[in-house]
Amino acid sequence: FCALLAGRLAKDAENASVLWCERPWTLDAGALYGPALLQFGIDPARLILVRVRRDNDALWAMEEGLRCGQVAAVVGELDDISLTASRRLQLAAEETGVTALSLRSKVDKPPPSAAATRWRLDAVTREKDQPRANHNNDFLNTPPALPGLGAARWQAELFRCRGGTSANWMMEWNDETGDLSVAAEIRNRPPVQVAARLAG
């Protein structure tokens, strides 16, 4: 999901480079894979990969990348980040307009942060009897041959948004169009009625 966001930022920027600070523990889940990065919009030739052992090294590289202003996005894989360190990154990002994305392991209660938004993301596998949509959003009656195969899906929870409200979405990536959309859950019931609010 983070690669997808960085790819979108790279696509919209004049300089399509992405700085990615990688930690050794992420290699257990698999290294960044060039063809997949390309599909998400990151040209592997424009990826600046920095392998660091400690959070302090990752934070230093992230801040330097943000301050130089010559990259589309800065991604950092972190075990922990203090409020002070997150504030430094936020100020550097505001100064140059470069977006910083911090990847952290799942924690029950995240510590305070200066980040403008904070998300909790979980990969979601598709159930074998769940319908799929094609590029026209027409639902196909044929489920994937094996459970878990199909479009990449994430449960995205926005649990902190400065000046906004928290929310929760199921997001789905479409390989054909390169689009990310809110995935509709098909249910056998009428839509929820939303009460109209009156102004004044």
Residues 80 and 17 in one domain: yes
At residue 55, the pLDDT reads 92
Residues 22 and 73 in one domain: yes
Residues 49 and 62 in one domain: yes
Calpha distance 185→171 (Å, rounded): 11
Residue 17 lies in a domain: yes
Which tokens sit at 33?
Answer: 């894979």
Residue 191 lies in a domain: no
Residue 158 lies in a domain: yes
pLDDT in tens, the chain (200 residues): 888 889 989 988 776 799 999 988 777 777 888 898 998 889 999 999 999 999 999 999 999 999 998 899 999 998 888 999 999 999 999 999 999 999 887 777 777 888 888 888 888 876 644 545 555 555 444 444 455 567 788 888 888 888 888 889 888 888 788 788 887 665 555 554 444 444 44
Residue 2 lies in a domain: yes
Residue 120 lies in a domain: yes
Residue 66 lies in a domain: yes
Number of domains in the chain: 2
Calpha distance 104→55 (Å, rounded): 11
Residue 200 lies in a domain: no
- The domain boundary residue, chosen from 99, 114, 129: 114
Residues 73 and 46 in one domain: yes
Residues 2 and 95 in one domain: yes
- The domain boundary residue, chosen from 81, 97, 114: 114
Confirm if 42 and 6 have CB atoms less than 8 A apart: yes
Residues 106 and 135 in one domain: no
Calpha distance 109→19 (Å, rounded): 28
Find the domain containing 168 and state its range. 116-184
Confirm if 154 and 125 have CB atoms less than 8 A apart: no
For strands 139-140 and 132-133, give the pairing: antiparallel
Helix-, strand-, coil-residue percentages of the chain, each rounded to 5:
25, 30, 45
- The domain boundary residue, chosen from 83, 114, 145: 114
Residues 99 and 8 in one domain: yes
pTM of the model: 0.75
Calpha distance 41→2 (Å, rounded): 11
Residues 130 and 67 in one domain: no
Residues 62 and 2 in one domain: yes
Residue 192 lies in a domain: no
Calpha distance 32→6 (Å, rounded): 13
Question: Residue 36: which CATH number?
Answer: 3.40.50.300
Residues 103 and 127 in one domain: no
DSSP-assigned states of every residue in 123-161 = EEPPPTTS-EE-TT-PEES---SSTT-SS-EEEEEEEEE
Calpha distance 96→38 (Å, rounded): 25
Calpha distance 110→81 (Å, rounded): 10
At residue 196, the pLDDT reads 47
